[in-house]
């Protein structure tokens, strides 16, 4: 069997397992890796060895980083640092620019905190702002979601981009720098949709599950809109690790290899060390207020939450290793060259299809990066472009198979039709912003 046909059959297997049989992404990726290896004519023992090598190598490179990243976000969430960031941003830009304030808040908060969790945390603030300004709750919530989506899919230590960077072998500092750039364009395009389209719609354009506009009610969960620590204190645990990672990348680029500074920056700027320090800083600053039992509970919950992400990413690494060992990646690269299709559209389309059919942006970006990496290596394409294009595709369209869709609907009171017109419709505009960023970056990489 040709390698191209083996690749295509294995992709059908992946989609069948994930969509038709509802198999967990971890198991689906591992089975796909096994099927691909066997169809490509590899000895079963060699295929198994490739799977284990790819799996263990990925765990080694990003496993600890993901755990500490999730843990850091949990501490910021528990101490209301997220509330402080949102409320101070609102004060900075003014109530007239509440949509911008929500987008900026989501942009910052979703770097350490899961997007869905951050949305739930900030909904009491959105209700309070809506009550004060008269802006429709659903419009504000969509603006928040646009910001959350952008850094959630592009900026480590959020698990999705962190995993993609590890699978593509991208320096984490570079992933942060380019991810921040792309996420600005992504959130900007999404915000234009909110401001120029949703913001101009009459109130009766939005309909609700129980037929009642929830904005006529008093803001719920009043305590949820209270600030936590001061803004500087809220940002320090987040900024410190990101700064250390970026400093390490900058020093590698600017200093000679024999510089005595590099061993030090390589250590403190290592993603594992930097994020561990971020957690230590958060515990040192807020541990006394939380109490030792709460500190341990947050830590335990974070490790449980990080587990599935680590395993799915490692399964993606296993599939990537099989692609390399069998030569299927190189074969697909040759096929892409012959078709004349711009390569950068390949990871975008793969991620978009996966996002649309199975709902998870993290799974979409990890799988797209895994499948595209060998092809890019063969074509000499900078992996940063795969990273950015995959992230753009992973925001193509969110609908009823996305858990965030129902969280948005339940917390805003919007019915399915309105959720599609707001939460769902914002996705393509965000994807367009990410694709635009990919194109701009491609001009100099």
Per-residue pLDDT of 177-217, as tens digits, reads: 999 999 999 999 999 999 999 999 998 899 887 665 555 44
pLDDT one-digit tens code per residue, 104-150: 999 998 887 777 778 877 887 888 788 778 889 999 999 999 999 99
Instruction: Write out the residue range of the structural domain in which residue 167 sits.
Output: 3-442
The single-letter DSSP state of residue 208 is B
Tell me the C-alpha distance between 106 and 421, whole Å: 20
Confidence of residue 231 (pLDDT cuts 50, 70, 90): confident
Length of the chain: 445
- Residue 210 CB: number of other CB atoms within 10 A? 8
Give the total number of structural domains in the chain: 1
Q: Are 167 and 260 in contact (CB under 8 A)?
A: no
Q: Which two tokens stand for residue 420?
A: 């599609």
Q: Is the pLDDT of residue 220 over 50?
A: no
| Average of per-residue pLDDT across 355-366 | 80
Confidence of residue 219 (pLDDT cuts 50, 70, 90): very low
Q: At what angle do helices 115-133 and 137-154 cross, to 10 degrees?
A: 150
Instruction: Provide, for the chain, the percentages of residues in helix, strand and coil under a 3-state DSSP scheme, each rounded to the nearest 5.
Output: 80, 0, 20
Tell me the C-alpha distance between 197 and 34, whole Å: 47
pLDDT one-digit tens code per residue, 348-359: 988 888 788 667
Tell me the C-alpha distance between 337 and 281, whole Å: 49
Q: Are 138 and 206 in contact (CB under 8 A)?
A: yes
pLDDT at 88: 87
Mean pLDDT across the chain, nearest whole number? Answer: 85
């Amino acid at each position: 069997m040709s390698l191209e046909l083996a690749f295509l059959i294995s992709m059908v297997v992946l989609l069948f397992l994930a969509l038709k049989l509802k198999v967990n992404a971890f198991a689906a990726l591992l089975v796909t890796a096994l099927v691909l290896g066997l169809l490509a004519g590899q000895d079963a023992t060699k295929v198994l060895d490739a799977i284990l090598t790819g799996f263990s190598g990925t765990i080694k490179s990003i496993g600890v980083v993901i755990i500490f990243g999730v843990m850091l976000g949990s501490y910021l969430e528990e101490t209301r640092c997220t509330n402080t960031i949102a409320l101070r941003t609102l004060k900075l830009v003014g109530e007239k620019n509440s949509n911008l304030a929500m987008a900026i808040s989501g942009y910052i908060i979703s770097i350490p905190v899961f997007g869905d969790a951050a949305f739930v945390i900030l909904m009491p603030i959105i209700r309070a702002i809506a009550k004060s300004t008269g802006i429709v709750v659903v419009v504000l919530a969509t603006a928040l979601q646009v910001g959350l989506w952008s850094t959630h899919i592009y900026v480590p230590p959020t698990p999705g981009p962190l995993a993609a960077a590890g699978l593509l072998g991208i320096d984490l500092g570079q992933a942060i720098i380019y991810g921040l750039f792309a996420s600005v364009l992504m959130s900007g395009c999404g915000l234009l949709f909110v401001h120029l389209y949703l913001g101009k719609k009459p109130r009766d354009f939005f309909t609700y599950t129980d037929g009642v506009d929830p904005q006529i009610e008093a803001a719920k969960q009043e305590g949820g809109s209270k600030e936590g620590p001061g803004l500087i204190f809220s940002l320090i645990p987040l900024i410190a690790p990101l700064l250390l990672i970026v400093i390490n990348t900058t020093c590698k680029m600017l200093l000679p290899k024999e510089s005595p500074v590099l061993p030090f920056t390589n250590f403190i700027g290592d993603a594992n060390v930097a994020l561990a320090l971020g957690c230590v800083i958060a515990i040192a600053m807020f541990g006394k207020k939380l109490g030792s039992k709460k500190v341990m509970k947050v830590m335990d919950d974070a490790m449980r939450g990080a587990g599935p992400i680590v395993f799915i990413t490692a399964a993606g690494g296993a599939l990537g290793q099989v692609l390399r060992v069998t030569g299927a990646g190189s074969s697909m690269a040759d096929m892409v060259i012959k078709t004349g299709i711009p390569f950068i559209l390949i990871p975008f389309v793969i991620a978009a299809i996966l996002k649309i059919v199975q709902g998870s942006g993290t799974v979409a970006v990890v799988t797209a990066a895994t499948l595209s990496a060998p092809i890019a290596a063969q074509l000499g394409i900078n992996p940063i472009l795969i990273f950015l294009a995959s992230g753009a595709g992973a925001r193509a369209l969110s609908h009823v198979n996305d858990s965030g869709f129902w969280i948005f609907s339940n917390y805003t009171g919007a019915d399915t039709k309105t959720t599609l017109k707001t939460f769902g419709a914002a996705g393509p505009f965000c994807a367009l912003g990410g694709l635009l960023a990919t194109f701009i970056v491609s001009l100099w990489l």
